[in-house]
């Protein structure tokens, strides 16, 4: 079973600490995931985009496995008015991310979460000056992996709050941090109507970076 990484071993998954997460490496054929999902009829992705279809199927498979391991029923996913994924028939919160061949899922007890997985790519050097404040770019630009962590952190913050008039550059603030294989990042959101502080956890591997979020910190 290609469970790549998780917040804890499957047998001990719990929401006692508020949330859990997992990363899946896609090695299976499409038929494997189709056999485990009742949502196949709702796939909106054309067979002409096979990687995107696999990401869609694998993320829902992983969500199902996590819910079952948590002792919960899984009845599929829908979307909120803000475009956030929602677990049908459950009050638990969920966030999804994918960067083929990886998919990532985070589930939380009673607070909004955002998970983001990214593979570092050189194109970020062209995009990030428009996304980062000068002090953020100064801290990140010497390392492609760190630049990717900044991008992923802002993506995760956006997923927490859903749609809205947010500027990645102006409203999502990432404080300087030391790049390691695992660590934490202090961040804040300063939108028109939203102000929140966050401690993000990151995993930095040879193939991808991962950001997960926890319960918001006190302002």
Q: What ranges do the domains of the chain cover?
A: 3-112, 117-212
Q: Which of 64, 13, 9, 6 is nearest to 40 (CA)?
A: 64
CA nearest neighbour of 154 among 193, 124, 192 = 124
3-state secondary structure of 77: strand
Structure confidence at residue 41 (pLDDT): 56
Domain 3-112: CATH class, spelled out? alpha beta
pLDDT score, position 46:
59
Compute the distance between CA of residue 193 and CA of residue 213 in angstroms, rounded to an integer.
20
pLDDT at position 178: 96
Beta strands in 165-207 (DSSP E): 172-174, 182-190, 195-204
CB 94 within 8 A of CB 106: yes
Buried residues in 169-206 as b, exposed as e (16+ CB within 10 A): bebbbbeebebeeeeebebbbeeeeeebebebbbbbbe
Residue 128 contacts residue 134 (beta carbons within 8 Å): no
Burial class (CB in 10 A: 0-12, 13-18, 19+), 126: exposed
> 57 Cβ partners below 8 Å, 6+ apart?
30, 33, 34, 37, 40, 43
Q: Please give the angle made by the CA atoms of 40, 61 and 159, to the nearest 5 degrees.
A: 100
Q: Model-level pTM?
A: 0.92
Q: Give tens-digit pLDDT for 154-209.
A: 999 999 987 667 889 999 999 999 999 999 999 999 877 788 999 999 999 999 99
Residues sharing a CB contact under 8 Å with residue 73, sequence separation 6 or more, in sequence order:
67, 89, 90
pLDDT digits (tens, 9 = 90+) for 47-82: 678 899 899 999 999 999 999 999 999 999 998 888
- Contacts (Cβ under 8 Å, ≥6 apart) of 176: 135, 136, 139
What pLDDT, on a 0 to 100 scale, did the predictor assign at position 45?
Answer: 62
């Amino acid at each position: 079973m290609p469970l790549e990484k998780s917040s804890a071993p499957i047998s001990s998954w719990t929401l006692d600490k508020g949330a859990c997460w997992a990363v899946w490496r896609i090695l299976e054929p499409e038929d494997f995931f189709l056999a485990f999902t009742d949502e196949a009829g709702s796939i909106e992705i054309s067979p002409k985009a096979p990687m995107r279809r696999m990401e869609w199927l694998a993320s829902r498979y992983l969500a199902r496995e996590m819910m079952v391991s948590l002792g919960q029923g899984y009845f599929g996913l829908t979307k909120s008015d803000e475009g956030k994924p929602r677990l049908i028939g459950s009050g638990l919160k969920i966030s999804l991310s994918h960067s083929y061949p990886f998919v990532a899922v985070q589930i939380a007890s009673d607070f909004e979460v955002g998970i983001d997985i990214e593979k570092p790519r050189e194109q970020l050097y062209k995009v990030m000056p428009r996304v980062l404040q000068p002090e953020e770019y100064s801290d990140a630009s010497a390392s492609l992996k760190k630049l990717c962590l900044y991008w992923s952190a802002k993506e995760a913050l956006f997923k927490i709050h859903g749609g809205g008039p947010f500027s990645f550059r102006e409203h999502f603030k990432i404080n300087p941090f030391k790049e390691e294989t695992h660590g934490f990042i202090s961040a804040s959101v300063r939108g028109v109507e939203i102000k929140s502080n966050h401690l993000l956890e990151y995993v930095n591997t040879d193939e991808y970076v991962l950001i997960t979020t926890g319960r918001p910190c006190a302002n």
